[in-house]
Structure 1
Amino acid sequence: MADSVLAPAAGRPSHGTVAGVLLDIDETLVDLEGAMHQALREVTAPYAALTEAGWTEFCLMFTRGSDDIYDRYVAGEITFAEQRVQRAERCLANAGTAFVDGAAALAWLGAYEAAQPNYVRAFQDVVPLLDALDAAGVPYGAVSNNVHDYQRAKLDTAGLGRIRVLVGIDAVGAAKPDPAIFREGLRLLGTAAEATVYVGDNPRHDVIGAASAGLRGIWLNRSGRALPEDVAGSVAEQITGLGELPALIGIT
C-alpha cells in the first residue's frame, strides 16, 4: 500500500460509538456512471449511429447491464481492459453493430481510457461530509472493488486527495463482500470494527459485506431504489445523500 498506517484509534475523539468512517468510491464518492456515460458517447460515436434513446440504452447496458462481465474481472478471469472491451462489444451487439476487428476494439479502448478521466467528478455532498468528519476529528478512508492505483488516480482527479486511507482489491487479494478487504480498511484506519461505519451504494457488497466484518453498514440510496427482496431484511439503515450521515452517526 502507498498509504502509511495511521496511529491506533485510542485517544482520538469518538462521538457515540463511531470512531471512524469507511466509504465506497464509485457512485458513493465519485459519479463514475455520469463520467462513463459522457465518455462512452464521445468515443463510441464513430462506431454506432444511435438516437438519444439508443445512447441511453447503450450507456445503461454498459454501466448497469454488464455486472457479470465485471465480476469476471474481480474474480481474476479477465483483465480490466478486457472487461471494458467485452462490455462495449455487448452494447454494440445490442445496438446491431460491432467493432470491425480487434484493432478497432483496441482503438476504442484507448480513446475511452483517455476520455473517461476528464469527466470524473465528486458528488456535491462529498466535500461537506469530509469537512464535517475533519472538524469532528473522525478519521475516514475508502475501500473499493478496484485496484489501489486506479482508484487513487480517480480520487485525486476528483479533488479528493485528502482521502489518504485507500484499500483496493489488490491489497489483500479479496473483493467486497469478503470481510478481509474491510478488515484491511480497519487496520489502516486504526479503528475497531464495532466503532466504524461503512457507507456504500451496493446493499450486498457494501452493507451486508461490511456487517459480515463487524462494521455498521449504511446503504447510500441516492436514487430511491427499492431493496431487492432477498436482502431487504439485512439492510437496517439507509440514506439518500452523504449530507445525512453526520447527524446519523452523531457528529452534528
Structure 2
Amino acid sequence: MIKAVYFDLDDTLYDQLAPLRSALQAAGFGEVAGDAARLEQLFKQMRRHSDRLWVNHAHGQLSLTELRIERTTASFADMGLHVSPKWAQHLQESYEHEQTAISLRQGVVRLFEQLHEKNIPFGLITNGPVEHQWGKIETLGLRSWIDPHDIYISDGIGLAKPDPEVFRHVHAQTAFLPAQLAYVGDAWHNDVVPSYLAGWRPIWFNGRRRQPDDGESEFAYWECGDMSEVFSLIQSK
C-alpha cells in the first residue's frame, strides 16, 4: 500500500511545451512553434539531450550554460536545422522568461486535495539549480501544498536523477518502506528507471505516449496519461 507520493516537477506538474512554444516565437522560430508535429519533435529531442547531458553536469564535467546550449544545438541538428550557440543561449533566456507564467496541469490541484484528504503525504524530487527550480515552485504555488522539507532539488542535495541514490536519500528521510513510496514522473530514463531500481513504485506520467527505452520494458511501473488517474492508481494497488 502506498503511504507517500513524490512528484517530478518539469513536464509533470506543469506542461513544458507551452513556455517552449512561446520562447520559440519570441526568438524568431515561429514556423517551428506553429507546427505541432515539429514542436513536439523538438521538445522530445531537447528532453532526450537534456537527460543525456545531465549526468555530465552532475559530475562537474559540463556547466549548466554549456548543457543548455548543447541540448538546443543538438536538438535542432536532429531536425536538420543549424542554430548558433549564441542563438541557443538567446532561446534559453526567452524560455526562462516564459517559465514565469507557467501553471499547474489540469487535475493536479484536485489530486493534491485527494491526497490531503486521505492523509497521504506528498513531496517533490527535481533536477536543477536550486534558485531556478524554486522560482518555478513559487510561480506554481506549490509551497501552499508541499512543505519545503519535502522538496528535494538535485543541486541542493548533491545527487541527481537518474542516480537511484536520489531516491534512497529521500527514502531515508521518511518512515516508510521503499515499496510504500510512489514517484510520479514523465521521463522513463530519469524518473521511472531510477525510482524502480531504488525499490519505489514508479508511476509513469506518459501523456506524450513515449515508449520505454530498449531493453528496459521489463521494469515494473504503473502508467497514466492524465493527473486525474494517479489517485485511483495508488488507491487500487
Per-residue Cα deviation, 1:34-77 (whole angstroms, up to 9, x for no partner) = 222322321x21xx674644973784376345333444334432
Describe the shift of the 1:41–1:74 C-alpha distance in structure 2 as closer, same or farther (beyond 3 A): farther
Deviation at 1:143, TM superposition (A): 0.9
2:81 to 88, 92, 95: 95
**Correspondence for 1:127:** 109
**Correspondence for 1:13:** none
Greater gyration radius = 1
CA contact (8 A) 1:22 1:185 kept: no
**Correspondence for 1:60:** 43
Q: TM-score normalised to the size of structure 2?
A: 0.80
Aligned residue for 2:142, secondary structure, equals: coil
The worse-fitting range, judged by mean Cα deviation, of 135-144 and 224-233 is 224-233
Question: Could you tell me which amino acid in structure 2 is paired with residue 220 of structure 1?
Answer: F
**Correspondence for 2:9:** 25
CA contact (8 A) 1:166 1:185 kept: no
Question: Could you tell me which amino acid in structure 2 is paired with residue 95 of structure 1?
Answer: L
2:98 to 113, 116, 122: 116
CA contact (8 A) 1:37 1:59 kept: no
**Correspondence for 2:146:** 163
More helix by share: 2
Describe the shift of the 1:221–1:49 C-alpha distance in structure 2 as closer, same or farther (beyond 3 A): closer
Gaps of 5+ in 1: 1-16
**Correspondence for 2:212:** 227
Q: Aligned partners of 2:42 and 2:117: how far apart in 1?
A: 39
Q: Aligned partners of 2:88 and 2:129: how far apart in 1?
A: 23
Aligned residue for 1:223, secondary structure, equals: coil
Q: How does 1:158-237 map to 2 (within 5 A)?
A: 158-161=140-143, 162-164=145-147, 165-237=150-222
Describe the shift of the 1:70–1:195 C-alpha distance in structure 2 as closer, same or farther (beyond 3 A): closer
Per-residue Cα deviation, 1:192-242 (whole angstroms, up to 9, x for no partner) = 322211111122322221122221122111123333341111134212222
Aligned residue for 2:210, secondary structure, equals: coil
**Correspondence for 1:247:** 232
Describe the shift of the 1:166–1:248 C-alpha distance in structure 2 as closer, same or farther (beyond 3 A): same
Question: Could you tell me which amino acid in structure 2 is paired with residue 132 of structure 1?
Answer: Q
Aligned residue for 1:86, secondary structure, equals: helix
Aligned residue for 1:234, secondary structure, equals: coil
The worse-fitting range, judged by mean Cα deviation, of 137-146 and 160-169 is 160-169
Question: Could you tell me which amino acid in structure 1 is paired with residue 187 of structure 2?
Answer: N
Note the aligned Cα RMSD (angstroms): 2.9
Question: How many residues matched?
Answer: 228
Question: Could you tell me which amino acid in structure 2 is paired with residue 136 of structure 1?
Answer: K
Q: Aligned partners of 2:226 and 2:41: how far apart in 1?
A: 27
Aligned residue for 1:141, secondary structure, equals: strand
Q: Aligned partners of 1:41 and 1:74: how far apart in 2?
A: 31
Gaps of 5+ in 2: none
Question: Could you tell me which amino acid in structure 2 is paired with residue 146 of structure 1?
Answer: G
**Correspondence for 1:78:** 62
